[in-house]
Amino acid sequence: MFSGKRLCPYCLEDVFINRTVNEDKTLNFSCRNCQSAIDPLYLKSYKEYPPVVLNVVGFRAHGKTVFLSALFYAFRLFKLNRYWPQFSYLPVNHSSQKLILDNARMLQEGSLPEPTQQIFPEPTMILADGLPFVKNGKATLLIYDAAGESFEAPEEMITYAGFVKRADTVFFLINIPRIRTTNELDIASEMDKLLSTYIQGMTTMDARTKKQRLLVIFTCADEMIPELPDHDVFPGPYLDVSLKSYITQDAIANTEAIVPLFNIGSEYVARMHVISNALESYTTNKLQAKNFVLTANKHFESVEYSIISALGFSPQGDGMLPATIDSKRLLDPFLWLLQYSATFGNRNKINRAIKKLRNASRNHR
């Protein structure tokens, strides 16, 4: 049934799969490396829905779990079909099904996730259809959340977040307002600390960051609005938007002028590239984290920046949400991930859109 190797979602190695037949004729599949039982639906769909790994790296309380929960909430209740009319999803197993429902319901009822337990996290596995950029719109999303102190030291990262080893893409979640209020270290030093812990941990695991794409995600953008620059990041008819207005608009709004409502695709992603450049400058100049920017550029295959607000506002003092969440730019990181996995033709389409945006701005000047 399965010839060749498969990516095991539990140890994230490419492995051969053991197959055993039970007395009642049902089948069991397990990983030859870590012995974990592997879900039949995952294996059966493997060729048609190639795995795409999404994982989050960041210190405690930097918004990792809330970001993932808001994404599940979006899958379930948010109108993703407005952007991708064919979007649909199917959890691969019972625990994935339960996690998606529980997290979405929690946000709907106005409470926030508990701090994540420190165990090797089980991936949430989802077969998704109707996605942009990937082949036939299909992928198995393998989503890993990291626990509390996983990135405090390289040894902890290896024990609790070894899943980053195999990833093509890593998300660094950085909560600037939180660093300010706790202020053990300044922002640049906190960012440097996360980066060096990560690079040291990866090197100890004999894995190479140089093969990975890094997406730096600034979380809790709703609390950053007053400090964000309000000059246009890319003057011209195609992108008269500042970082401040970018994050105050709807999740994907204000693109209707150039993108028909039902096509959040290459033009939108071209604009994300421009926003990324603006955020890199912001990191260097306003956050004074130039060492982070340069070191990251040196050690990863590529580095991009994005900014999100998963909730849209701050929780109340008791930790409850005052209203229904109102995410801003929540899909941007997800789109980065999908564009990295883009098929050749789609990648060309994105590159053409970027070129068009650049030319439009040049002609405008």
Point out which residues bind Mg ion (CB under 5 A).
64-65, 116
Instruction: Tell me the closest approach of the beta carbon of residue 207 to Zn ion, in angstroms.
Output: 16
User: What interhelical angle do 94-108 and 64-76 show, nearest 10?
Assistant: 100
Residue selected from 63, 121, 201, 265 as contacting ligand GDP according to rule CB under 6 A: 63
Q: Kindly state whether residue 58 participates in binding ligand GDP, applying the rule CB under 6 A.
A: yes
Footprint (CB under 6 A) of ligand GDP, residues 122-181: none
Size of the residue set binding ligand GDP (CB under 6 A): 21
The pair of three-digit structure tokens given for residue 35, joined into one six-digit string: 């012995």
Instruction: Tell me the closest approach of the beta carbon of residue 116 to Mg ion, in angstroms.
Output: 4
Q: Kindly state whether residue 185 participates in binding Zn ion, applying the rule CB under 5 A.
A: no
C-alpha distances in Å from residue 117, one per residue of 92, 121, 179, 204: 22, 8, 22, 24
Q: Kindly state whether residue 62 participates in binding ligand GDP, applying the rule CB under 6 A.
A: yes
Instruction: Tell me the closest approach of the beta carbon of residue 65 to ligand GDP, in angstroms.
Output: 3
Closest-CA residue to 269 (of 345, 342, 336): 336
Please give the Cα distance from 238 to 254 (Å, whole number).
11
Contact 43, 6 (CB under 8 A): yes
| Range in contact with ligand GDP (rule: CB under 6 A) among 255-263, 264-272, 308-316, 339-347 | 308-316
User: What interhelical angle do 266-285 and 331-340 show, nearest 10?
Assistant: 110
User: Cβ closer to ligand GDP: 17 or 104?
Assistant: 104
User: Cβ closer to ligand GDP: 117 or 363?
Assistant: 117
- Identify the H or E element spanning 29: strand 27-31
Residue selected from 7, 10, 287, 350 as contacting Zn ion according to rule CB under 5 A: 10
Footprint (CB under 6 A) of ligand GDP, residues 89-118: 112-113, 115-116
User: What interhelical angle do 331-340 and 344-364 show, nearest 10?
Assistant: 120
Helix (H, G, I), strand (E, B) or coil at 114: coil
Footprint (CB under 6 A) of ligand GDP, residues 199-258: 219-220, 222-223
User: Cβ closer to ligand GDP: 118 or 242?
Assistant: 118
Binding partner at 61 among ligand GDP, Zn ion, Mg ion, none, C-beta below 5 to 8 Å by kind: ligand GDP
User: Cβ closer to ligand GDP: 327 or 341?
Assistant: 327
Closest-CA residue to 265 (of 361, 357, 346): 346
The pair of three-digit structure tokens given for residue 52, joined into one six-digit string: 């795409």
For residue 179, the tally of other CB atoms under 10 A from its CB is 20
Q: Kindly state whether residue 65 participates in binding ligand GDP, applying the rule CB under 6 A.
A: yes
Amino acid at 109: E
Please give the Cα distance from 299 to 169 (Å, whole number).
13
Contact 247, 307 (CB under 8 A): yes
Binding mask 20-59 for Zn ion (x = CB under 5 A): -----------x-xx-------------------------
User: Cβ closer to Zn ion: 159 or 254?
Assistant: 159
The residues binding ligand GDP (CB under 6 A) are 58, 60-66, 112-113, 115-116, 219-220, 222-223, 309-311, 314-315
